[in-house]
Chains A and B, each alone.
Chain A
């Protein structure tokens, strides 16, 4: 191949690079939703929280000049969204799946409304760490130019996996998620635990959104999300509520999302829409393969309405 282009090797490299780039929001949203669902609550409104977080992070970054301040602000608004969702859902007769969809619409609407003045300005981006300096190929260097949040996400996944098993908080969370009655018998207040779990979940989802607007694609507009918030919920089920599983599944999804443009760049141009559908098909296939009508979803927290 001519110098500069790497030909067919572009595809696996692009998938690898894309996996890292595109997976980061999935990592954060799915980790957040794992915490929420482990406590027995489902939050489908994370798409709204994610987009609102993206808007907040971008706006604060533009106004203050610091992307990290934007991330912190996003965590704050994500926590508020989680709080609202969690508080409303603890009332009897409220359908938490429906509330999730409603919060998603509300979050999206509010984000678009408040974010109008920020479509034009350019915000400072989050830093990345160059792990590919050893290579001469610019493509490898670009692929290994990994964003700080991705690394943070990986560390967080490991920490949560360890914490669920080995800490008291992890145990409390799991008990509340498996059986409301057992938790009460142990003297735990399940409502409060679920509320906190939803708050933390919302906060992390908003960080995922902040990544979208402050790193990749690094811009704020109304089309910033392609359904990551909703797909992350499916991802959590696929990963069996295991944080490390979430991290790996997020990488898988990221790679699938990068497939379309990567293939086009080496000349596979037929049917590119079908490639763009690849992540969704993958999710559905995995869901079908791992679900079963007889047992409730294996590994599912018992109190989760999804699994009943």
Chain B
């Protein structure tokens, strides 16, 4: 797999074409592919050990190492520019990868799509909710998790723990995935106490430590005593909030080692399950799903163990809600819901299931959230 390719362009093209052909599922008897060697490429926008988004993916990738015949190649700190296209090409041409996971939002368009058009025999799966059947080729797809369910549970626990009835959210950018989380956090808290309000501060960047610390301090100065966030690496938010004496709910990965007393629970990704599923399908020669999503029920998302500060009734309600979510029948966004400007955004009687496509274009903050999307 690590043979250096000769410089002759014709040889190179022949070699890569042959390689791609040999590894394309479906063209060879599936029996032969059952345990075939497979190289899977992972691309991260930040460092793999950021206690956050990228670490969650890296942990998922690590789960693949246990599978026989699977080699993973990873590259971190790849910016969302033409660099990622070159990285994908490099993985395909020089490492022989046939399944690529570009994990950051900004990789999808135009980068992943450009590569998918150029290499129709390679499978690309993007973390997000952007794939559309009418527009995007069949060798691409999206996978994502309904982590807002996890934030709802965060909110429930926060609702029982907060004394000031004010909770806070440090957010990066006002995109739908983030807004879903903010709204779910508040809705979960309001299910416990309808008077709770949530303040949100947008830092404007996915990863900017000083701004995140400032935002956390500002929220706590305004009275919030339970903080959560949606930034790439929650480490700074967790440590700063706990240092000021506030409680904290985690996100992306389990940050409880950073603040064992103040950590209530956290919404974590469980990408290992997702990746294992993809790889097994590829090895078995089955077609990979193009729009793969799941929540707590499907094992895409999991919750951190509850911390010591959660009161007993909080635990009970948490367990009950979690159980209901596991049946797939619980709806976080159930009408009537108004946004924080007074408009009705979810009519009375309407409720969105976890996979409702309308949620992917959420652009409002619900009533009770103090802040604005622009």
Contact = CB atoms under 8 A, between A and B. Distances in A.
B218 A221 contact: no
Chain B, interface SS category: mixed
Among B49, B218, B239, B374, chain A packs the most CB atoms within 10 A around the CB of B218
Contacts of A226: 208, 210
Contact of A262 (B208, B218, B220): B218
B257 interface: yes
A264 B201 CA distance: 6
A272 interface: yes
B218 A264 contact: yes
A6 B221 contact: yes
Interface residues of A, number: 45
A288 to B, nearest CB: 26
A28 to B, nearest CB: 16
Contacts of B370: 267
A261 B222 contact: no
A203 interface: no
B204 interface: yes
Given A2-B223, A3-B164, A119-B49, A269 B218 contact: no
A221 B257 contact: no
A142 B217 contact: yes
Interface in A115-132: 116, 119-120, 122, 125
Nearest to B215: A261
B372 A270 contact: yes
Nearest to B52: A221
A13 B221 contact: yes
A221 B233 contact: yes
Contacts, number: 127
Contact of B217 (A14, A219, A223): A14
A51 B305 CA distance: 36
Given A14-B218, A122-B257, A218 B49 contact: no
A86 interface: no
A111 B182 CA distance: 35
B64 interface: no
A110 to B, nearest CB: 15
A5 interface: yes
B213 A5 contact: no
A261 B214 contact: yes
B209 A17 contact: no
Interface centre among A5, A14, A272 (most CB of B within 10 A): A5
A4 B245 CA distance: 14
Nearest to B374: A270
Interface of B: 47, 49-51, 77, 164-166, 199, 201-204, 207-215, 217-223, 225, 233, 235-236, 239-240, 243-245, 257-258, 370-372, 374
13 contacts: A3-B223, A5-B164, A5-B166, A21-B217, A120-B49, A217-B213, A217-B239, A218-B213, A261-B211, A261-B214, A265-B199, A265-B218, A272-B204
- Pairs A-B, 9 closest by C-beta atoms: A4-B223, A5-B223, A217-B213, A265-B218, A269-B372, A4-B164, A261-B214, A217-B209, A261-B218
Given A212-B210, A260-B211, A261-B211, 9 more contacts: A122-B239, A218-B213, A221-B47, A224-B210, A260-B214, A262-B218, A264-B371, A267-B371, A269-B202
